[in-house]
A = this chain, B = another copy of it.
Amino acid sequence: MRDMISAELPNFMPLHRQVKEILLRRIANGWKGAGEALPSESDLAADLEVSLGTIRAALGLLAADKVLVRQQGKGTYVTLHDEARILFQFQRLTPDAQARQFPESQVLSVNTEPPDAGDQAQLGLAVGEQVVKLRRTRSLGGLTCITELITLPVVLFPKIEAQDLPNNLYEFYSVHYGVRIAKAVEQLKAVGATANDSGHLGVPVGTPLLQIDRVAVDLCDRPVERRISRCLTDDYHYLSKLE
């Protein structure tokens, strides 16, 4: 078994970490789709020829990374990017007085363009590589409060201009392009509304907005989406947990 693992993954690691990486790689390659069940612990243990405890450690790590969901008595499933999960993991903007909710979206335009310097760096693009820029506005509780500019490498998302884009993009990426968002890093700043923001949000130029510059990565930590959101925060706040 150690030999088999070494063949699949040369570098040294504890066994349970190696098992984790093997399973992660398999999942990233489409071995099991979102929502599908993995084989049982004992089947996996037999398959990979390691003990149950080692398999459990690996599955536990993947569950902690939110790649898998485990349910006693049922099985282990590949995480589904349904709205509830997106809301929990990625939607940090919350109404001050109510529960978190999924924002509605209105697409403004979709264009293939050359990337700017920031896109180039954040998405790790090859020289000359083109990107798709998706502009939209979003509303929470009926009030338009976000302008959004989404940048995607055209290589990963061919012909996305022709598609009908839903509200929940991460689920859409997964279903139509096999691109699964695993996590993201956001940089926040306070900025003044531009003329463009002003028109869409109905506030004066210079109004303080919360700008969120997000880079989302897939299961293998490759950056696949950049998203700049500019949000009105009079009745909303961004929630951040430090633990």
Q: A208-B209, A210-B210, A240-B92 are in contact. Are A190 and B187 (CB under 8 A)?
A: no
A190: chain B residues at CB < 8 Å are: 190-191, 208-211, 231, 233
The answer on a CB contact under 8 Å between A243 and B65 is yes
A184: chain B residues at CB < 8 Å are: 241-243
Q: A242-B92, A243-B65, A243-B183 are in contact. Are A188 and B208 (CB under 8 A)?
A: no
From the candidates B192, B214, B233, B240, name the one contacting A185 in the complex (CB within 8 A). Answer: B240
The answer on a CB contact under 8 Å between B241 and A185 is yes
Chain A window 227-243, contacts with chain B (Cβ cutoff 8 Å), 1 for yes, 0 for no: 00001010011111111
Minimal Cβ-Cβ distance residue in B for A193: B208
Minimal Cβ-Cβ distance residue in B for A64: B64
A89 proximal to B (CB < 8 A):
yes
- Give the distance in Å from the alpha carbon of A166 to the alpha carbon of B52 in the complex: 51
A66: chain B residues at CB < 8 Å are: 243
Q: Shortest beta-carbon distance, A106 to chain B, in Å? A: 22
The answer on a CB contact under 8 Å between B183 and A233 is no
A-B contact pairs, 23 of them (CB 8 A): A89-B243, A90-B242, A92-B240, A184-B241, A184-B243, A185-B239, A185-B242, A187-B237, A187-B238, A188-B210, A188-B237, A188-B240, A189-B210, A189-B233, A189-B236, A189-B237, A189-B238, A190-B208, A190-B210, A190-B211, A192-B208, A208-B209, A238-B240
Given A185-B239, A190-B231, A208-B209, 15 other A-B residues pairs in contact with their CB atoms under 8 A: A66-B243, A89-B242, A186-B239, A186-B241, A187-B239, A188-B233, A188-B240, A189-B210, A189-B238, A190-B210, A190-B211, A191-B233, A206-B206, A213-B237, A240-B240
